[in-house]
């Protein structure tokens, strides 16, 4: 306080001196006025420096209190610390933006999960109440409602499994066992697993080999089969009845490319960039009527990238979509 009082006194004194110079410039002469002006300027500069130093000291004190690690190696002197202050300010701004982003993601994530679980839970609740209200007396009606309830349970089970899978992937607990695999065997296993689903939808899956069908790739066969199953199921779901889905295998840049192509509804250009996001749906009404957790394509992308490979999509509305992912081949 004493220092502040002294500097304020200097400032007031300097101001008075300048006023005297203005009123008595004729008596003092030009040289006298110049001399007094120089002295006044020095006082003003000193006062400005004091104000800046006081503000800087307070800022540094606050910064040290909130983030001591950033300043543990800095000297006590505040000379030349503008750069460090700017760095600290930028760091705090980035932290705040990241926090806002994470909080927004958390709210959306919880909201999506809640919405996805709410629909089947309410359905099951409705079926049970209807059965308890007397529908149990009619065996045909009871059986129909129980089937619908079971379907809703399956939907919730699928969502929980997908949530667990994506959680394990993002936490680094999703193990990938890379081994040489004959791609033909992997695709045949996938076709066998999907035979009932394909038949139920009166669809056809055609495999087109643009390379030798004895090609060997390096991958986790179970995970890549999951990728292939997911893409084929999606292609069938979002295509008209009795459609044909093409699985084309080609080679480019020493990599095998697997393309799953349909002639379905297609994806608008505005949605392509977000198609692999969790819970993102192009046509919400149509997608929910088809079932699914809304996590399938996100899981597919994570699995492919965990192999060090890439997945892409191209599509045109009313003309279908094509999802293509790459696989490493065995070096010959």
Phi-psi map region of 89: left, alpha, beta (phi>0 left; psi -120 to 50 alpha)? alpha
Helix (H, G, I), strand (E, B) or coil at 204: strand
Helix axes 183-193, 221-237, angle to 10 degrees: 50
Q: Is 231 exposed, middle or buried (0-12, 13-18, 19+ CB in 10 A)?
A: buried
Q: What is the structure's pLDDT at 209? A: 95
pLDDT at 288 over 60: no
Residue 225: CB atoms within 10 A of its CB come to 17
**Is the alpha carbon torsion for 188, 228, 262, 150 positive or negative?**
positive
Average pLDDT rounded to a whole number, residues 108-115:
66
Contact 88, 63 (CB under 8 A): yes
Q: Classify the phi-psi angles of 307: left when phi > 0, otherwise alpha if psi is within -120 to 50, otherwise beta.
A: alpha
pLDDT band at 256 (very low <50, low <70, confident <90, very high): very high
DSSP 314: E
* More reliable by pLDDT, 59 or 217: 217
What is the Cα Rg of the chain in Å? 35
Question: What six digits make up the tokens of 24?
Answer: 């008595």
Q: Residue 51 pLDDT more than 80?
A: no
Which of 95-109, 156-170, 215-229, 287-301 has maximum average pLDDT? Answer: 215-229
Q: Return the pLDDT at 262.
A: 94
Mean pLDDT of 56-83: 59
Residue with tokens 């006590």: 76
Q: Average pLDDT in the 22-47 region?
A: 53
What is the arithmetic mean of pLDDT over 30-55?
Answer: 55
Residue 203 and residue 244 in contact, taking contact as beta carbons nearer than 8 Å? yes
Both tokens assigned to 220: 């986790």
Evaluate if residue 276 carries a pLDDT over 80: yes
155: region left, alpha or beta (phi > 0 left; psi from -120 to 50 alpha): alpha
Percent of the residues in the chain that have a pLDDT greater than 90, as a whole number:
27
Is the Cβ–Cβ distance between 70 and 88 less than 8 Å? Answer: yes
Q: Is the pTM of this model over 0.75?
A: no
* Total length of the chain: 332
Distance of CA 41 to the CA centre of its chain: 57
The C-alpha atoms of residue 271 and residue 281 are separated, in whole angstroms, by 9
Q: pLDDT tens, 134-150?
A: 888 888 888 888 888 88
């Amino acid at each position: 306080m004493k220092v502040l009082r002294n500097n304020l006194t200097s400032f007031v004194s300097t101001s008075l001196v300048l006023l005297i110079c203005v009123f008595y410039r004729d008596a003092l002469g030009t040289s006298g006025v110049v001399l007094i002006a120089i002295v006044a300027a020095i006082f003003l500069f000193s006062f400005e420096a004091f104000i800046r130093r006081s503000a800087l000291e307070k800022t540094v004190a606050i910064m040290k209190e909130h983030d001591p690690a950033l300043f543990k190696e800095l000297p006590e002197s505040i000379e030349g610390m503008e750069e460090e202050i700017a760095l600290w300010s930028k760091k705090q701004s980035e932290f705040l933006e990241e926090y806002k982003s994470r909080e927004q993601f958390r709210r959306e994530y919880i909201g999506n999960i809640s919405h996805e679980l709410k629909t089947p839970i309410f359905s099951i609740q409705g079926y049970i109440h209807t059965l308890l209200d007397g529908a149990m007396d009619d065996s045909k009606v009871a059986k129909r409602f129980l089937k619908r309830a079971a379907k809703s349970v399956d939907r919730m089970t699928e969502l929980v499994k997908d949530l667990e899978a994506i959680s394990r992937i993002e936490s680094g607990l999703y193990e990938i066992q890379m081994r040489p695999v004959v791609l033909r065997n992997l695709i045949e296993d996938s076709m066998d697993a999907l035979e009932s689903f394909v038949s139920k939808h009166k669809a056809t899956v055609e495999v087109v080999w643009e390379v030798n069908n004895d090609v060997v790739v390096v991958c986790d066969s179970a995970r890549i089969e999951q990728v292939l199953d997911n893409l084929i199921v999606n292609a069938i779901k979002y295509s008209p009845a009795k459609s044909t889905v093409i699985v084309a295998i080609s080679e480019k840049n020493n990599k095998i490319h697997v393309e799953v192509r349909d002639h379905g509804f297609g994806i608008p250009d505005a949605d392509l960039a977000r198609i692999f996001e969790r819970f993102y749906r192009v046509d919400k009404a149509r997608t929910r009527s088809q079932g699914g957790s809304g996590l399938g394509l996100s899981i597919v992308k994570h699995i492919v990238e965990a192999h060090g490979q890439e997945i892409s999509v191209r599509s045109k509305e009313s003309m279908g979509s094509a999802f293509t992912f790459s696989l490493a081949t065995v070096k010959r």
